[in-house]
Structure 1
Amino acid sequence: MPRILRTLLTDELLTRIHDRAAAHDRDNTFPHDDLRELADAGYLRAFVPADLGGAGLTLEEVSREQARLATAAPATALAVNMHLVVTGLAALLVGRGDDTTAFILRDAAAGEVFAFGNSEAGNDLVMFGSRTRAERQADGGYRFSGTKIFTSLSPVWTRLATFGLDEEHPDGPRLVHGVVGRDGTTTKDDWDTLGMRATQSATTVLDGARAEPEHVYRSLPPGPSGDSFVFALFATFEVLLAAVYTGIGRRALELGAEATRRRTSFKYDGRPYSQDPDIRWKVAEAALAQDGAELQVFALARDVDEQADHGARWFAQLVGLKVRATETARTVVDLALRVSGGGAYFTGSELTRLYRDVLAGIYHPSDDESAHGTVATSILGPLEE
């Protein structure tokens, strides 16, 4: 029997979101109407189990939805992605018998909006080290102090998943992961970027932000870890991120193909450029890349859902997916621009916006250097001392 993939996003909703995207990019504003409509559609509860009032979608189903949302508005998709990553990792852990993050699903069911406060300027260890101070409280809770960058959903989040280093832990330094509220945090007005402007991923300053004891879900030694939380984080983050950029490529290919049918060639007696062999080659090149990107994203998402056995190469598969998906999206957008003519160079062009948005893929973890190191180690073993 064919698999039935569930969906929450209607074509009508995606059209409305698409129609607002250009203005949010131009004005550098957060898409409040998009978020409201997505919440009304139950999309912020996509990973929440049905018994809590959510849709209970799988990672593959949500990744397919994220690709569709990104074709309408990449920045909206990337912003919502952070909420979905937090709730998705919680759903993955709970589904495998680990209830330490079950409170996230309950809070999401009640309408809380989650964001990530993990990235730090100058921290190339990313999740395996932190400049943020985590101070244990007498009741087992923690207070976090530090500066986090690229905090998507900054105007609207109500819960922030974050982490910091507890250097006074009795068992030695520990990276402590938990969820804080708005108290003890300040959001800077510093998001004025080349692309992905509507994400409003401003800097967040933590000044004693408190995680209650029941909201502290991991305390791990610094450095790489085989803990199930780390796998859940990488699996949901990298797959859903790849889905967003794959959606950008999908839309760019559509726009490029439309342009070749619309433009006519003086050289070829007024025939459309879609009949020019050189242009057709470029469109085919973009489609070849895009087809491969779509297949790999959804296949690896399904492997996560079905607990496929990639053994020691799981992390290599996940970080490799991110690099391939974001680089492929850049290639497809570039080819779409090349076949669309000079009109695509003007700021009112949707392709121009996609060209700026897709560049953000360079900066998400894992970066090229880290990913290549992970993949090399998975094949060749670690570097010798």
Structure 2
Amino acid sequence: MLDLFIKNDTQRNWVQKLHVKEAEFKSKSAKYDEQSKFPKDNIQRLIEMGYTTLTLPAAYGGGGLSTYDMTLLQETLASFDGATALSIGWHMGVVGEIYEKKLWDDGKLDFFADEVLKGALVNRAVSEAQTGSPTRGGRPGTYAIKKDGHWMITGRKNFTTMSPVLTHFLVSAWMEEKEAIGFFLLHRDLEGLSIEETWDVISMRGTESHDLVLENVTVDESKLVEINHGPRGNQLNGWVLHIPACYIGIAQAARDYAIQFANEYSPNSLNGPISQLPNVQNLIGQIDLELMQARHFLYSVAEAYDDDSRRPFITNEHGAVKHTITNSAISIVDKAMRIVGAKSLQRANPLQRYYRDVRAGLHNPPMDDVTIQKLALTALNKKKGV
């Protein structure tokens, strides 16, 4: 199915490069999930391939890939291992957004580009237990105080995906003296910065999204890289498409497993495999229809974002595509499990892992209720002429 969406040699070459790692990545997925351990080997392979530099612009020595390119590659990767794809997707998206929007000054962009080219990995650390999802506009409980020309940062962040291997954390903190939220680029080796292993969930276990603990972490002014006076969730950002790309990739893996099972499983009550049964064919047809609908939506939105002439007309498409694909992925995996039957619940069966992992998408921003409300308000305001 994905071949239809490959548009150039760069995309095709990178899809082929990733497929070289398919067997290796798939072979370790169950172990990482069972042990709730981060797939460090997979991430190291991606660094060695140069994958983690792809969303860095060519002017800075990177691959210069677009959001469409990233989405295509992230979907491919997710079909091998969801935890690996979701984890590295945050790095890919953060780098892509920073450099596309020039969120930092030139000196900081030059510095961090060199770090990325040397293998640095970054993720934003914004979620907190007290404030919930940062996209809902809550003020961070993490705070930064200016003292003797330095910033002292104290707080705790949860859902810090890829925490075992991140070299840099882009931490949000409330700055009272500026009455704004600042983002500080913190290296993991800073005194007072630590990771508390709190990740104990049933979905995306391998991401090790532990708590980041900050106790009077002291940095100079150069580490204050962004200042936001309003919620970041209101800003258009096509790089978040790595999230739906991950879940459609997992759905594709579930579909492929179910079809292989249907073609091979032949109970003695039938003269052939279960793929000949009308109810099984019906489920497979529904799965492929949902995949087609979701995938065309995803790549049309990515294509529109990359087109400067079309981007101004985007309103809520990024939230809508994430909503659509996450819920479609849940539906697709459910249908795949119906085809396979009770065997899909065995711990050794990958479908039960896919089933758990796609549900994590419901809690990645933006949440479904926010997306639906924004669609409604946009429609109502346009009707009013606002």
Tell me which moved more, 83-92 or 196-205: 83-92
Q: Look up the match of 1:290.
A: 291
Aligned pair partner of 1:245 in 244, 247, 251: 247
3-state SS of paired residue (2:201): coil
Unaligned runs of 5+ in 2: 1-6
Q: How far 1:305 sits from its partner (Å)?
A: 1.7
**Aligned AA (1:47):** T
Q: Look up the match of 1:156.
A: 165
Aligned-residue identity in percent: 23
Q: How far 1:178 sits from its partner (Å)?
A: 2.6
Q: Look up the match of 1:39.
A: 47
CA contact (8 A) 1:181 1:209 kept: no
Q: 2:104 and 2:36 mapped to 1: Cα distance?
A: 42
Q: 1:318 and 1:104 mapped to 2: Cα distance?
A: 27
**Aligned AA (1:376):** A
Q: Could you state the TM-score of these two structures normalised by the residue count of structure 1?
A: 0.89
Cα deviation, 1:151-170, whole Å, max 9, x if unaligned, reads 0111111100121211222x
Q: How far 1:376 sits from its partner (Å)?
A: 1.6
3-state SS of paired residue (1:343): helix
What pairs with 1:1-385 in structure 2 (closer than 5 Å)?
3-6=8-11, 7-8=13-14, 9-94=17-102, 99=106, 102=109, 103-124=111-132, 126-127=134-135, 128=137, 129-137=139-147, 139=149, 142-169=151-178, 173-182=179-188, 183=190, 184-210=192-218, 212-223=220-231, 230-231=235-236, 234-237=237-240, 239-267=241-269, 269-311=270-312, 313-314=314-315, 316-381=316-381
CA contact (8 A) 1:93 1:101 kept: no
Q: 2:64 and 2:148 mapped to 1: Cα distance?
A: 37
TM-aligned CA distance change 1:253 to 1:211, over 3 Å:
farther
TM-aligned CA distance change 1:164 to 1:304, over 3 Å:
same
Q: 1:345 and 1:321 mapped to 2: Cα distance?
A: 29
**Aligned AA (1:11):** H
Cα deviation, 1:272-301, whole Å, max 9, x if unaligned, reads 111111111111111111111112222212
**Aligned AA (1:255):** Y
Q: Could you state the TM-score of these two structures normalised by the residue count of structure 2?
A: 0.88
TM-aligned CA distance change 1:221 to 1:19, over 3 Å:
same
Tell me which moved more, 11-20 or 103-112: 103-112
**Aligned AA (2:252):** R
CA contact (8 A) 1:252 1:354 kept: yes
**Count of matched residue positions in the alignment of Structure 1 and Structure 2:** 370
- Cα RMSD (Å): 2.5
CA contact (8 A) 1:66 1:244 kept: yes
Q: 2:132 and 2:209 mapped to 1: Cα distance?
A: 19
Cα deviation, 1:13-71, whole Å, max 9, x if unaligned, reads 12211111111111111111111111100011111233443222211111111101101
Cα deviation, 1:161-205, whole Å, max 9, x if unaligned, reads 121211222xxx211123111213121111121021111110111
Q: 1:313 and 1:349 mapped to 2: Cα distance?
A: 40
**Aligned AA (1:296):** F
**Aligned AA (2:281):** R
Q: How far 1:381 sits from its partner (Å)?
A: 2.5
Q: 1:362 and 1:22 mapped to 2: Cα distance?
A: 22
Q: 1:285 and 1:133 mapped to 2: Cα distance?
A: 49
CA contact (8 A) 2:104 2:225 kept: no
Tell me which moved more, 141-150 or 253-262: 141-150
Q: 2:147 and 2:331 mapped to 1: Cα distance?
A: 49
CA contact (8 A) 1:91 1:105 kept: no
Q: How far 1:353 sits from its partner (Å)?
A: 1.0
Q: 1:87 and 1:142 mapped to 2: Cα distance?
A: 24
Unaligned runs of 5+ in 1: none
Q: 1:177 and 1:133 mapped to 2: Cα distance?
A: 11
Q: How far 1:313 sits from its partner (Å)?
A: 4.6
Tell me which moved more, 71-80 or 127-136: 127-136
